[in-house]
Structure 1
């Protein structure tokens, strides 16, 4: 009987041991489950068990007292159900208080009885408190702000004084236009340096970076919008440095011809040979071919004359060259010349060339007089200057006889030939000065800037 009782006690202990092991606490492991709020968010753990309502109420009340705007909240807890009551100034704080309560461990539900306060004094009180705080900060910030403003003013005055040092900028730059550009750039750099120092003193360098970044984007957009204007401005700078011509120079820019009046920051102004003002944008001038007749005082002219197909072109060229050599306004070096230019159906085209000194002789007058002199000389020697001849074919009958321009009657001198020859030799071919005078008057009358400088070497 005793053995049976011992065996029964042993079996009972084996059966009951696992149950006790599972229900008892294990060393080093927290027996409480991980708490979470009803909406699945992380929870704020309570120091006591979740069913202790007083602990939850104390915990929430302490949290609300530490948060601005939530101090008036009253908390009541019954069986894990939190009841919030009171009046809050900001409507957003009502939902904020509810979310905090839901995150406390052990909270089953939240009954939110909070209301927005309608009391004007309660509404204005936090606003006035924040305003007072801001004013206190501004008052404390005023000495630092004053120092920053003083730095800005000093750098502004320094930049302005540097820009007004005209003699210095005129001495280091090739012309007044570049002097103004350098002075403005230096002034801007000094002012920006002062601004950076002032903002760094105020701890607002991030603001400066944002401003400069925005300015860069805006500048890029403006650059695309005024691309032609910028291109013209840069071309003006390059032309003022290169100095491709001088005032009074006779130039051809692209297909536009005239005498240079001045070079401005926007355009090159010419006086055309007809006496008209012509403004060419500097971007066009910079990209165009420039032919300057004034750079070399010697200039060549040329013209063509046709003789009969049966005449000797070599003899005709000799006669023409001899006649050109007799003209007093043509240079002897280089000497006049001629060449056979073309053999046509009914004539031979000869080209005659001669050189003049532009400072003493007008190109147009000299060419006109030379053409007249050579024509008269060829006709006096019996060379015909024929009109175009057309040969007609008839299928029936006899062919027609074609008269030759070299008939003896045409080789006789025409009446007054000697007087005409003498008149050519003494024809007025002096250089035309009327346009030059107009350019001089325009330069004296106008107060517009001129970037052409005779002291600078011409390109």
Structure 2
């Protein structure tokens, strides 16, 4: 049992590189010559003497079997011995007992020698490195100067944002060209593939990490090339309604009619449903009005259409319309519409004026416009039983009041002083970039 443990310990202590099973191949001769063994040993020593890293290796040959002892700097050098010795003629087998040295000085000397050799090589390459660096700087400077020029970038780009993208592309191309030229001068163009491959992997990882930012950037480019709105247009984007202040490289900024800034990311704008109320000159307004249930609805409908059509600010074509919308609590409701030129008429004022005059016309014809609001009135006490049982007298007929002719008010004033002041202040800010231009095509 003790012998078995000793054998296992010896096997575990044997270096891995000494267990290499690669041996010379070929027919073993019958004759055994001491002269030949000596010649093999001398030949192997001469070979190892010319190579670095085998100074501590000793060689002995008996009957064509080569025994190698000693130490080497690293394991790979020890493994190479079998390959070298096996190529010598007459070698029958190889017994490699070489181990890796643990001497710190012996192991550090090759590293120091390699470092010194690289420093010497770098010093010798300094003039070539200087020429490569000068070529890189010249190419990069040329690209910077070309990118800073106003023409042709501002001439071929639809706006300043796209022109800046062109300039960035030019800078990147000249930077890559400078690197390629410098590496070619140094004779290290093989590094370019490694650099570009690493840059591609890093760029892919960054792209996934900032996917929303990249999507927003691309949407900004698309919106700046083909613009769905102009400054001061009234638009609705995802339920937000307001006037367009500007389009930046990141977001579209609206000013609501309450004076609030609405900042919508361009990626959202590009994918959303956009309603532009300023694209068409004609715009329809509508309102709802209720009449009593005993009214002649056909006459009321005709009356409302005639009233709206007679307003000076309402367009004759398309003609005003009205229809019975629904039956509500205590009234029948009609929807009335009319068209205006929104460049000459205020929509909200036109709608309000049409509603006022329509109500006056209906009431002037003796038709009640009921108040559908419920009112609860609390009385001081209950009436006596005799009075409660007494029937109430029939209501006296109401006399239709004489309604004087009502003239339409002026609704051509389009100004909203507070809102217009805010829009003008935002538009005139020189430090706030705007990608909206009249020269760009509009969708």
Using structure 2 for the length normalisation, give the TM-score.
Answer: 0.77
User: How many angstroms does 1:262 deviate by?
Assistant: 0.6
Task: Report what 1:58 is aligned to.
Answer: 42
Residues 1:327 and 2:315 are matched in the alignment: no
After superposition, the Cα gap between the structure-2 partners of 1:179 and 1:40, relative to the gap in structure 1 and judged at 3 Å, is closer
Tell me: CA distance 1:352–1:408, structure 2 relative to 1, closer, same or farther (3 Å): farther
Verify: 1:283 aligned to 2:245, yes or no: no
Say if 1:253 and 1:288, in contact at 8 Å, map to a contact too. yes
Shift of the 153–44 alpha-carbon distance from structure 1 to 2, 3 Å rule, reads: farther
Q: 1:7-64: per-residue Cα shift (whole Å, max 9, x none)?
A: xxxxxxxxxxxxxxxxxxxxxxxxxxxxxx9975232889995542323322322222
- Equivalences for residues 305-384 of structure 1 within 5 A: 305-342=289-326, 347-384=331-368
From 9, 24, 27, the equivalent of 1:43 is 24
Match of 1:413 in 2: 401
Gap regions ≥5 residues in structure 1: 1-36, 390-400
In structure 2, what is the Cα distance between the partners aligned to 1:61 and 1:48? 25
How far 1:295 sits from its partner (Å)?
2.3
The whole-number CA distance in structure 1 between the counterparts of 2:80 and 2:318 is 106
Q: Secondary structure at the match of 1:425?
A: coil
1:175 to 125, 134, 159: 159
Q: TM-score, normalised to structure 1's length?
A: 0.75
Q: Following TM superposition, by how much is the alpha carbon of 1:138 offset from its aligned partner in structure 2, in angstroms?
A: 2.8
The aligned residue for residue 409 of structure 2 is 426
Structure 1 contact 170–176 (Cα < 8 Å) conserved:
yes
Once residues 346 and 117 of structure 2 are traced to their aligned partners in structure 1, the CA distance between those partners, rounded to angstroms, is 88
Q: Distance in 2 between matches of 1:381 and 1:114?
A: 119
Counterpart of 2:387 in structure 1 is none
**How many residue pairs align between the two structures?**
402
Does the 8 Å CA contact 2:23/2:82 hold for their aligned counterparts? no
Residue 256 (structure 2) aligns with:
272
Q: Is the 8 A contact 1:335 1:355 kept in 2?
A: yes
SS of 2:414 mapped into structure 1 = coil
SS in 2 for 1:445: coil
- Deviation of 1:284 after TM superposition, in Å, equals 1.1
Matched, 1:303 2:287: yes
Q: How far off its partner does 1:180 sit?
A: 0.1
1: CA distance, partners of 2:266 / 2:98: 78
Give the 3-state SS of the residue equivalent to 2:125 in structure 1: helix
Distance apart, 1:313 and its partner CA: 1.9
Alpha-carbon distance in 2 for matches of 1:404, 1:48: 149
Distance in 2 (CA, whole Å) between partners of 1:145 and 1:243 is 50
C-alpha deviation, 1:332, in angstroms: 4.0
Superposed CA deviations along residues 396-440 of structure 1, whole A, max 9, x for unmatched, are xxxxx9x999x841x5117xx43xx54x62366622322122100
Distance 1:388 1:125 in 2: 103
For residue 242 of structure 1, the aligned residue among 218, 226, 229 is 226
Contact 1:148 1:202 in 2 (8 A): yes
Give the CA deviation at 1:178.
0.2
The secondary structure found in structure 2 opposite 1:301 is strand
> Which residue of structure 2 lines up, in the alignment, with residue 17 of structure 1?
none
| 1:155 and 2:139 correspond | yes
Do the aligned residues in 2 keep the contact of 1:223 with 1:230 (CA within 8 Å)? yes
1:102/1:110 contact within 8 Å kept: no
| Aligned mates of 1:315, 1:155 — CA distance in 2 | 84
Query: Does the alignment pair 1:232 with 2:216?
Result: yes
Contact 1:89 1:117 in 2 (8 A): no
Q: 2:125 aligns with which of 108, 132, 141?
A: 141
Q: 1:249 to 1:55 in 2, by over 3 A?
A: same
Contact 1:82/1:109 (CA < 8 Å) preserved in 2? yes
Residue 26 of structure 1 corresponds to none
Work out the CA distance in 1 between the residues paired with 2:344 and 2:20: 105
User: Residue 210 of structure 1 corresponds to which residue in structure 2?
Assistant: 194
Secondary structure, counterpart of 2:73 in structure 1: coil
Cα 1:404–1:448 change in 2 (3 A) is farther
For structure 2, the 5+ residue unaligned runs are 1-17, 374-390
2:15 aligned partner: none
Separation of aligned partners in 1, 2:358 and 2:110 = 108
Deviates more, 1:255-264 or 1:136-145: 136-145
Post-superposition offset of 1:356: 2.3
Residue deviations 1:48-83 (CA, integer Å, cap 9, x gap): 955423233223222222321224645455666767
The structure that has the greater radius of gyration is 1
Q: Which residue of 2 aligns with 1:24?
A: none
